[in-house]
């Protein structure tokens, strides 16, 4: 330690240590900085459709390009975007949609859209071709998922109401630090109507201790081990976490289903704080 005997050398060492510390700090800040999102909550921004993949006669997956290959959409988990289009009468229409991609998917985002014959925004999506632009504004929504906010989620989804549930479930399950349990009841008319079936079954197989899905069909196939008819109180009791201060039941479906589910949840003793409707 003869080197430290002189004041010059002590000063030199002090400056060197300070420079290294500042360098490490700057590197940490740079690497932990989240990339900036591409959404504007006040103004619509245009995103180019680069791929359209028909999943069934009335459902398609739309892939939109972000400004650069490393851009992220910047949508908090649990929130959605507003999409603007024109209906068959050329009147403006704005509807909410939840991408099935997360910010871990860089350079693009995807929407899985169910197009109803008489639906106004459905018309816009039906007419969209690769190369067209979609006007999008956001993030929107009252729900923003925070890791550890509940011990378990129950999810009651109908038809295209699966997309917000899928987004939240994916974010939880793909985060090794998040041990929240997810119990999904997903209702449709026929087996062919089940959206994201492969993705949901894949999550259930990969995370059997954390994620369970129970399908309910109005018109089940001949061989069927899921629920039949509409979602009942008994199905919720069997497949969702019981009322407790540290659980939440999310619901998203057509208005009649949401209304029926709210009635079931109230009757089963879930307080308003334990329920959320997208």
Ligand X SMILES: Cc1cc2nc3c(=O)[nH]c(=O)nc-3n(C[C@H](O)[C@H](O)[C@H](O)COP(=O)(O)OP(=O)(O)OC[C@H]3O[C@@H](n4cnc5c(N)ncnc54)[C@H](O)[C@@H]3O)c2cc1C
* 96 part of the interface to ligand X, by CB under 6 A: yes
Q: Is 159 in the site for ligand X (CB under 6 A)?
A: yes
- 145 classed as catalytic: no
- Decide: is 126 part of the binding site for ligand X (CB under 6 A): no
Q: Does residue 71 interact with ligand X by CB under 6 A? A: no
Chain centre to alpha carbon of residue 251: 13
Give CA separation, 182 vs 63, 231, 244, 273, in Å. 27, 17, 15, 18
Annotated catalytic residue 83:
no
Rounded Cα distance, 212 and 108, in Å: 29
Query: Closer to ligand X at the Cβ: 74 or 139?
Result: 139
Instruction: Write the Ramachandran bin of 78: left for phi over 0, alpha for psi from -120 to 50, otherwise beta.
Output: left
Q: How far is the CB of 172 from ligand X (least distance, A)?
A: 18
CB of 209 to ligand X, least distance (A): 28
Q: How far is the CB of 180 from ligand X (least distance, A)?
A: 20
Which of 38, 83, 240, 252 is the catalytic position?
Answer: 252
Minimum separation from the CB atom of position 112 to ligand X (A): 6
138 binds ligand X (CB under 6 A): no
Q: Find out whether the peptide bond into 35 is cis, omega within 30 degrees of 0.
A: no
Residue 269 has which token pair? Answer: 């003793």
**Which residues lie closer than 8 Å to 61 by C-beta, 6 or more apart?**
51, 52, 53, 55, 100, 110, 111, 112, 113
Cβ neighbour number for residue 242 with a 10 Å cutoff: 12
By CB under 6 A, tell whether 278 contacts ligand X. Answer: yes
Clarify whether 80 is annotated catalytic. Answer: yes
Catalytic: 252?
Answer: yes
**How many residues sit in the footprint of ligand X (CB under 6 A)?**
22
Triad 262, 60, 185: Cα angle to 5°? 25
Determine the interface stretch with ligand X among 21-29, 67-75, 155-163, 242-250 (rule: CB under 6 A): 155-163
Catalytic member of 38, 83, 97, 183 = 97
Burial tier of 39 (Cβ tally within 10 Å: 0-12, 13-18, 19+): buried
Q: Does residue 114 interact with ligand X by CB under 6 A?
A: yes
Choose one: 17-25, 28-36, 94-102, 203-211; the region binding ligand X (CB under 6 A): 94-102
Identity of the residue, 124 or 239, whose beta carbon is nearer to ligand X in the bound complex: 124
Q: How far is the CB of 181 from ligand X (least distance, A)?
A: 22
Selected binder of ligand X within 35, 229, 254, 263 (CB under 6 A): 254
> Which of residues 120 and 233 has its CB atom nearest to ligand X in the complex?
120
Residues 26-55 that bind ligand X (CB under 6 A): none
Does 79 bind ligand X (CB under 6 A)? Our answer is no
By annotation, the residues acting in catalysis are: 80, 97-98, 252
Q: Which residues of this protein are in contact with ligand X, per CB under 6 A? A: 80, 93, 95-98, 111-114, 116, 118-122, 159-160, 163-164, 254, 278
């Amino acid at each position: 330690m003869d080197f430290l005997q002189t004041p010059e050398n002590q000063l030199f060492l002090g400056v060197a240590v300070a420079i290294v510390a500042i360098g490490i700090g700057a590197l940490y800040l740079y690497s932990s900085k989240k990339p900036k999102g591409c959404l504007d909550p006040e103004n619509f921004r245009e995103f180019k459709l680069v791929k359209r993949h028909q999943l069934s006669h009335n459902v398609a997956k739309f892939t939109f390009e972000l400004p650069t290959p490393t851009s992220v959409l910047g949508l908090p988990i649990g929130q959605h975007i507003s999409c603007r289009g024109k209906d068959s009468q050329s009147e403006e229409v704005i509807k909410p949609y939840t991408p099935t991609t997360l910010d871990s998917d860089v350079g693009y985002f995807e929407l899985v859209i169910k197009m109803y014959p008489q639906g106004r925004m459905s018309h816009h999506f039906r007419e969209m071709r690769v190369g067209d632009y979609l006007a999008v504004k956001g993030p929107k929504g009252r729900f923003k998922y925070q890791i550890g906010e509940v011990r378990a989620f129950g999810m009651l989804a109908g038809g295209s109401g699966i997309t917000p549930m899928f987004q939240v479930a994916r974010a939880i399950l793909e985060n090794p630090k998040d041990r929240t349990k997810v119990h999904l009841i997903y209702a449709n008319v026929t087996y062919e109507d089940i959206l994201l079936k492969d993705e949901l079954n894949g999550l259930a197989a990969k995370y059997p201790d954390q994620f369970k899905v129970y399908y309910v069909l109005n018109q089940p196939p001949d061989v069927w081990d899921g629920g039949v008819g509409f979602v009942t109180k008994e199905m919720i009791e069997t497949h969702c976490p019981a009322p407790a201060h540290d659980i939440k039941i999310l619901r998203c479906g057509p208005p009649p289903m949401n209304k029926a589910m709210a009635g079931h949840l109230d009757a089963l003793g879930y307080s308003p704080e334990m329920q959320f409707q997208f």
